[in-house]
Amino acid sequence: MKNSSPISMRVLHRYLGFFLAGIMAVYAISGVILIYRDTDFLKSEQVFEEQHSPNVPNEKLAEELRFRRLKVEKEEGDMVYFQNGDYNRSTGVAHIRSMELPYVLDKMTHLHKASTEDPLYYLNIFFGCSLLFFVISAFWMYMPKTSVFKRGILFSLAGVVLTLVLLFI
């Protein structure tokens, strides 16, 4: 029997899927790149020179330079050396080296880091809700008594179990 509704669950699932295909591709690529965030994979070195207050004591240097963890490696005269650069106490000039992703990849990985102050927050909410809709609507594709539906439930449960196992090991 033909569905009398102009928009069926299958049609909604299909076109929302096509719409989200681009978003999912960007999320997939940026997610894989984020796995390597602790390495220099695809990154290039950038050197910045910043002017700061002179004579900052070592205890306050991390705060002044906006580093989470800063360990002073050595001091020679007015120069303080740390892992990613140096700081001249007399002039207040700091040279900071960092490894950065290319501009486009950096913007793509920002999707995963968006907070409530970021406009990408709304895209993340929409994307998360859309994926939840996909999960639910996938079960409307087949009648509950069919073998495809029952096998689909088993595969879904296997996905949940695998995810939980990987989360807790």
Q: So what's the pLDDT on residue 2?
A: 59
Structural domain count, the chain: 2
**Model confidence pLDDT, tens digit, residues 70-109:** 899 999 999 999 999 999 999 999 999 999 999 999 999 9
Q: What is the DSSP letter of 142?
A: S
Whether 55 is covered by a domain: the verdict is: yes
Whether 1 is covered by a domain: the verdict is: no
**Model confidence pLDDT, tens digit, residues 10-19:** 888 888 888 8
Q: So what's the pLDDT on residue 88?
A: 96
User: Which residue segment(s) compose the domain that 127 sits in?
Assistant: 9-39+103-168
* Mean predicted confidence (pLDDT) in 26-38: 92
Same-domain check for residues 34 and 48: no
Whether 134 is covered by a domain: the verdict is: yes
Same-domain check for residues 157 and 142: yes
* Integer CA distances (angstroms), 4 to 13, 45, 121, 138, 164, in order: 17, 60, 37, 20, 41
